[in-house]
Amino acid sequence: MRPEFSKQRFPEHGENFHRFDPRRLIPVSIRRALHRRFGHPEISQFFTSNPEWTPPPGVFGELYAKHTGRMVIKWVHYLPIYDQLFERYRAGMPESMPARPIRMLEIGVMRGGSLDLWRSYFGPEATIFGIDIDRACAALDTPENPVRIGSQADPEFLKRVVAEMGGIDIVLDDGSHIAGHQRASLDVLLPLLSEGGLYVIEDTQCSYWASYGGGLRRPGQIVEVAKSMVDGLSKWSYRGPIGKRAKFASDEIESITFFDSVVAFRKAKRRIPSAQVAGGAEEERRAWNLSERKN
């Protein structure tokens, strides 16, 4: 029997497919057969609820293990990744002087459990908004963790939410996991991030699954989009055309970090790099001072 988790997501995605998708022209029975043959492995086998479970070391893992409120499901290997990515923001935005509390948007609220976790992680001063396309999530809206209803693929909705937040430092995209939606959010929100901000997309394993508009090295899936932006990071090292997202990276992205099923972009204005000689004898140092050379 197909487990509940897969049933929820395969193949129609219900309200997730609010835009026209040509795959919907293929009858569901054929899509199901194609998915059985070429789709992702049965991932529900990895879902557990083990009372003996101990978290990996780290602040987020500890909070997660202690969490008793609204339900949340996270892949265990994300817990230390969250610490690696987000710990520097716990005391506020490192770039602002004096440090101010962070403003975070989580795309995909579901039961609200992860909003609670982010609140515990970033503290009472942080601004933490959630958005979800599911109208039922409106019931989770509180002054502490506002929830707004709309699609992550709707640029005007995203801009309105960011304006209400008073700006944005961190995005966590845990929404539909559909390539077109992920791209739409990235294109709107990445430019809106503050200096030093972080944009994290999780569950990028879906990029490899046809049922999410993905496939191995399929153009347009979000891991491929992120890979294409990597060329922008060293743009001064070569000549040649690059796409508009890579161009954006060449001006505004400091790093793109790939993990298993998570990609993170850190925003920071780029400068032409310079090297500085240290140590050595005066003669050597002068020989390496290229700016003093005639040609």
Ligand X SMILES: C[S@@+](CC[C@H](N)C(=O)[O-])C[C@H]1O[C@@H](n2cnc3c(N)ncnc32)[C@H](O)[C@@H]1O
Q: Which residues bind ligand X (CB under 6 A)?
A: 16, 72, 106-111, 113-114, 131-134, 151-153, 174-176, 181
Write down the least CB distance from residue 156 to ligand X, Å.
Answer: 13
Write down the least CB distance from residue 55 to ligand X, Å.
Answer: 16
Write down the least CB distance from residue 19 to ligand X, Å.
Answer: 9
Question: Residue 122 region, left (φ>0) first, then alpha (ψ -120 to 50), else beta?
Answer: alpha
- Positive or negative torsion for Cα 149, 221, 43, 258: negative
Write down the least CB distance from residue 287 to ligand X, Å.
Answer: 56
Please identify, using beta-carbon distances, which residue of 193 and 200 lies nearer to ligand X.
200
Write down the least CB distance from residue 181 to ligand X, Å.
Answer: 5
CA nearest to 168, candidates 186, 150, 182? 186
Please identify, using beta-carbon distances, which residue of 56 and 180 lies nearer to ligand X.
180
167's CB contacts (< 8 A; 6+ apart) are 103, 192, 194
Taking CA atoms, 234 is separated from 199, 239, 295, in Å, by: 20, 11, 23
Dmax over CA atoms of the chain, in Å, equals 76
Please identify, using beta-carbon distances, which residue of 35 and 111 lies nearer to ligand X.
111
Q: What is the length of the chain?
A: 295
What are the residues facing 266 on neighbouring strands? 198, 255
Please identify, using beta-carbon distances, which residue of 5 and 252 lies nearer to ligand X.
5
Please identify, using beta-carbon distances, which residue of 65 and 99 lies nearer to ligand X.
65
